[in-house]
Structure 1
Amino acid sequence: MTFRIVSGTASPELAGATAAALGTGLAACRVERFPDGELRPGVGHLRGADVYVVQSTGPPVNENIMELLLLLDACRRAGAGRVTVVVPYFGYARQDRRGAAGEAVGARVVADTLMAAGAQRLVVVDPHTAALESMCAMPVEMVSAVPTLADALAPSVAEGTVVVAPDLGAVKLAEHYASLLRCPVAVVRKTRVSGARVHAEELIGGVEGRSAIVIDDMVSTGGTIEAAVRVLLAHGAEPGMVVAATHGLLVGGHTPLSGLPLRRLLTTDTVEPAPAPPLPVQVRSVAPLLADTIGRLHRNEPLDDLRIRT
């Protein structure tokens, strides 16, 4: 069975780089847009192929998800032998449980819909919750960009540097970074006030007089990072902190990041670059990671060393 890479319009550069790393090109694909906003994707000959559809579901999240669903259906109707959906950034992953009665579980709805559209397997990079796998009836491969980002951080890590989790949900992630960088871990406890506002309350761990690397799976509005940095400064951490996150959504004008004593933001290309915030941004590509993952899946090889740590 031959393999083919199909790219949606949300991730053309990443899909192209992934295909190039695999020594192939992208399969023929077009997405027509009608004046009223309707999408009509179409694909070329895929009959019997092992197909990997690459499409991130970052902003605009709903439009990119709808395009992905139609692409999956097009691949299925084109006779693909097997369809794997590669979603570097999985939108709605934060909605993994109900916060109150009457709310939807968005992550489950999206996962079920992807499967209904024709996906037989899902690949995601550093999803917001490891519980995503338990929500899906289809197999889920959760791979991590942490080693890629840690490799970029390593040359600038000084003695005494602390890896900081900006909330309790990022502790496992911080421990993964810390094990690779050989650094201790500190944790900020936060309370989310709204989708954009966060209140940080206390710090667990010593940071006084030390450099800090604040990590998270994503930077969306920057509110969580802002709250964590202010707590670190209040506890005597050195200015010039580094922020590392797999998904650099950077929505909302980056206002919370303005004025913070940050040295740089390190992220990946799981979503298309947003306008740069008021600090240096370094982007590492996950194309080698995705190419390795796709190659192993196609050859039915294990992914144990690529998976996230849970």
Structure 2
Amino acid sequence: MSTRIVSGTAHRTLAEAVASALDTELAACGVERFPDGELRPVVERVRGDDVYVVQPTGPPVGEHLVELLLLLDACRRGGARTSTAVVPYFGYARQDRRGRAGEAVGSRVVADTLASAGADRLVVVDPHTVALEAMCAMPVEMLTSVPVLADALAEETPDTAVVVAPDLGAVKLAEHHAGRLGLPVAVVRKRRLSGETVQAGEVAGEVVDRPAVVVDDMISTGGTIEAAVDVLLAHGALADVTVAATHGLLVGTAHDRLERLPIRRLFVTDTLPGCRERVPRVRVCSVAPLLADAIGRLRDDEPLDALMVRG
């Protein structure tokens, strides 16, 4: 029995870094594509092994999700002893409840489908909601990138700064960053009007004449960050803003929105590929050591408490 790392096509660079940190090589795997777009993954020599399939489900979300499902099924049919879905960015996590009649609960559907495809365990990094664990029939290990990002932030953040949650959902995350950085916390109250439009109002906390460090779990179109920074500036914060987020989707209007803001530096992790090409002034911090540490602990039946999201 051995530990095998299988990579999908969504982020092979990250999978290679994880395998290297574990002093192993990626398992032989190929993904064929039919002329009509169908995928046919083939995974070799995993019989009796504990397999970890590394595949974030970022854009194009549907294609990467289907590929992950097929890879898990291929590992199961190939005789893998266990199969763990390592999904650094878990698409559909934002769809954790119905906002109105007729909507689906996307995160529950995806979780059930992963289990049906053969996943015995799910490993994610900073999911949009900790309720994800309750939705999954399989065990879920929710890792956090806060130490990774906070260590990088500490190198460039003045002790006069304030850590800002751009909405109520990011308060716990902001508190964790602030605790590691030894800084106070402020909270922006926002209201989402649509998938791209956000309205921010008041700020709870002292931000006058302070540089702000805005933290969130993800940046999609940049609407939440834009609204938060505008409110911070209106309330007297310095035009010296740092932004840190685990997942840099940076889709749609994100580049233009972030470009016009007084952002000195943007910190993201490499849970998704290509951030350096999409926005300026970005520093990418790798979660490969975090994922490798988690896989190593799972392999050795050691607790993951020190790596996990705190409630």
Quick one: structure 1 residues 147 and 170, their matched pair in 2 at CA, closer, same or farther if it must change by over 3 Å? same
* Residue in structure 2 matched with residue 213 of structure 1 by the alignment: 213
* Residue in structure 1 matched with residue 269 of structure 2 by the alignment: 268
Alpha-carbon offset, residue 253 of structure 1: 3.8
Q: 1:142-172: per-residue Cα shift (whole Å, max 9, x none)?
A: 0001100000000222122100000000000
Which of 246-255 and 31-40 deviates more? 246-255
* Residue in structure 2 matched with residue 115 of structure 1 by the alignment: 115
Quick one: structure 1 residues 178 and 272, their matched pair in 2 at CA, closer, same or farther if it must change by over 3 Å? same
* Residue in structure 1 matched with residue 178 of structure 2 by the alignment: 178
* Residue in structure 2 matched with residue 282 of structure 1 by the alignment: 283
For residue 174 of structure 1, give the secondary structure of its aligned residue in structure 2.
helix
- What TM-score, normalized to structure 1? 0.99
- What TM-score, normalized to structure 2? 0.98
* Residue in structure 2 matched with residue 40 of structure 1 by the alignment: 40
Quick one: structure 1 residues 41 and 278, their matched pair in 2 at CA, closer, same or farther if it must change by over 3 Å? closer
Matched letter for residue 88 of structure 2: P
Please give the alpha-carbon distance, in whole angstroms, between the structure 1 residues aligned to 2:279 and 2:42: 39
Matched letter for residue 280 of structure 2: L
For residue 119 of structure 1, give the secondary structure of its aligned residue in structure 2.
coil
* Residue in structure 2 matched with residue 103 of structure 1 by the alignment: 103
Please give the alpha-carbon distance, in whole angstroms, between the structure 2 residues aligned to 1:179 and 1:280: 25
Matched letter for residue 200 of structure 2: A
User: CA contact under 8 A between 1:124 and 1:142: conserved in structure 2?
Assistant: yes
User: CA contact under 8 A between 2:98 and 2:104: conserved in structure 1?
Assistant: yes
Please give the alpha-carbon distance, in whole angstroms, between the structure 2 residues aligned to 1:281 and 1:159: 21
Please give the alpha-carbon distance, in whole angstroms, between the structure 2 residues aligned to 1:136 and 1:80: 21
Alpha-carbon offset, residue 188 of structure 1: 0.3
Any gaps of 5 or more consecutive residues in structure 2?
none
Matches within 5 A, 1:160-239: 160-239=160-239
User: CA contact under 8 A between 1:262 and 1:279: conserved in structure 2?
Assistant: no
Please give the alpha-carbon distance, in whole angstroms, between the structure 2 residues aligned to 1:104 and 1:71: 25
Q: 1:45-70: per-residue Cα shift (whole Å, max 9, x none)?
A: 11100100000000000000000000
Please give the alpha-carbon distance, in whole angstroms, between the structure 1 residues aligned to 2:8 and 2:225: 31
Quick one: structure 1 residues 56 and 156, their matched pair in 2 at CA, closer, same or farther if it must change by over 3 Å? same
Q: 1:80-108: per-residue Cα shift (whole Å, max 9, x none)?
A: 00111100000000000000011000000
* Residue in structure 2 matched with residue 31 of structure 1 by the alignment: 31
For residue 260 of structure 2, give the secondary structure of its aligned residue in structure 1.
coil
Quick one: structure 1 residues 160 and 236, their matched pair in 2 at CA, closer, same or farther if it must change by over 3 Å? same
* Residue in structure 2 matched with residue 294 of structure 1 by the alignment: 295
User: CA contact under 8 A between 2:84 and 2:123: conserved in structure 1?
Assistant: yes
Please give the alpha-carbon distance, in whole angstroms, between the structure 1 residues aligned to 2:279 and 2:37: 33
For residue 265 of structure 1, give the secondary structure of its aligned residue in structure 2.
strand
What value does the CA root-mean-square deviation take over the aligned residues?
0.9
User: CA contact under 8 A between 2:93 and 2:132: conserved in structure 1?
Assistant: yes
Alpha-carbon offset, residue 277 of structure 1: 4.5
* Residue in structure 2 matched with residue 125 of structure 1 by the alignment: 125
* Residue in structure 2 matched with residue 259 of structure 1 by the alignment: 260
Alpha-carbon offset, residue 257 of structure 1: 1.4
* Residue in structure 2 matched with residue 82 of structure 1 by the alignment: 82
Alpha-carbon offset, residue 274 of structure 1: 4.2
Aligned residues: 310
* Residue in structure 2 matched with residue 92 of structure 1 by the alignment: 92
Alpha-carbon offset, residue 279 of structure 1: 2.9
For residue 283 of structure 2, give the secondary structure of its aligned residue in structure 1.
strand
Matched letter for residue 32 of structure 2: E
Please give the alpha-carbon distance, in whole angstroms, between the structure 1 residues aligned to 2:70 and 2:159: 51
Matched letter for residue 173 of structure 2: L
Please give the alpha-carbon distance, in whole angstroms, between the structure 2 residues aligned to 1:137 and 1:187: 34
* Residue in structure 2 matched with residue 59 of structure 1 by the alignment: 59
Please give the alpha-carbon distance, in whole angstroms, between the structure 2 residues aligned to 1:77 and 1:283: 37
* Residue in structure 1 matched with residue 73 of structure 2 by the alignment: 73
* Residue in structure 1 matched with residue 243 of structure 2 by the alignment: 243
Q: After the TM superposition, which segments of 4 or more aligned residues of structure 1 sit over 6 Å from their partners?
A: none
* Residue in structure 2 matched with residue 154 of structure 1 by the alignment: 154
Please give the alpha-carbon distance, in whole angstroms, between the structure 1 residues aligned to 2:79 and 2:159: 56
User: CA contact under 8 A between 2:275 and 2:284: conserved in structure 1?
Assistant: no
Please give the alpha-carbon distance, in whole angstroms, between the structure 1 residues aligned to 2:248 and 2:79: 35
Alpha-carbon offset, residue 275 of structure 1: 6.3
Q: 1:115-144: per-residue Cα shift (whole Å, max 9, x none)?
A: 000000000000000000000000000000
User: CA contact under 8 A between 1:248 and 1:271: conserved in structure 2?
Assistant: yes
